[in-house]
Amino acid sequence: MKVLLVGVGGVGESIAVIAKERPWITKMVLADYNLKRAREVQKKIGDKKRFPAEFIDAGQKKMIQELAKKHKVDLIMNAVDPVFNEKIFDAAYAVGCNYMDMAMTLSKPHPTNPYKQCGVKLGDYQFERAEKWEKKGRLALVGMGVEPGMADVFARYAQDHLFDEIEEMGVRDGANLEVRGYDFAPNFSIWTTIEECLNPPVVWEKDKGWFTTEPFSEPETFEFPEGIGKIEVVNVEHEEVLLVPRWVKTHRVTFKYGLGDQFIGVLKTLHMLGLDNKEKINVKGVKVAPRDVVAACLPDPAYLGDRMFGKTCAGMWVKGKKDGKPKQVYIYQVADNEESMKRWGCQAVVTQTAFNAVIAMDLLEHGVWKGVGVLGPEAFNPIPFMDKMADYGFPYGIKNM
Secondary structure of residue 347 in the 3-state scheme: coil
Q: Which of 1, 200, 230 is nearest to 110 (CA)?
A: 200
Dist CA 296 CA 385 (whole Å): 36
Cα–Cα distance, 144 to 193 (Å, whole number): 17
Torsion region of 378: left, alpha or beta (phi above 0 gives left; psi -120 to 50 gives alpha):
alpha
**Partners of residue 235 on adjacent β-strands:** 256
* Rg, C-alpha atoms of the chain: 20
Q: Are 187 and 304 within 8 A, CB to CB? A: yes
Beta bridge pairs of residue 172: 256
Note the pLDDT of residue 135.
97
Residue 123 · residue 142 · CB < 8 Å: yes
Helix (H, G, I), strand (E, B) or coil at 398: strand
CA angle 178, 181, 186 (to 5 degrees): 50
Which segments of 218-261 are extended strands (E)?
A: 220-224, 229-235, 252-257
In sign, the C-alpha dihedral spanning 372, 373, 377, 380 is: negative
Contact between residue 259 and residue 220 where contact means Cβ atoms under 8 Å apart? no
pLDDT at 268 (0 to 100): 86
Cβ proximity of 153 and 145 under 8 Å? no
Centre a 10 Å sphere on the Cβ of residue 223 and count the other Cβ atoms it contains.
13
pLDDT tens-place values along the chain, 401 residues long:
999 999 999 999 999 999 999 999 999 999 999 999 999 999 999 999 999 999 999 999 999 999 999 999 999 999 999 999 999 999 999 999 999 999 999 999 999 999 999 999 999 999 999 999 999 999 999 999 999 999 999 999 999 999 999 999 999 999 998 888 887 777 767 877 888 788 999 999 999 999 999 999 999 999 999 999 999 999 999 999 999 999 999 999 999 999 888 888 888 898 888 988 888 999 889 899 898 898 888 888 778 878 889 999 999 999 999 999 999 999 999 999 999 999 999 999 999 999 999 999 999 999 999 999 999 999 999 999 999 999 999 999 999 99
Put residue 123 in one of left, alpha, beta given phi > 0 → left and psi -120 to 50 → alpha: left
Residue 167 CB-density burial (10 A; 0-12 exposed, 13-18 middle, 19+ buried) = middle
pTM above 0.85, yes or no: yes
Single-letter amino acid code for the residue at 368: V
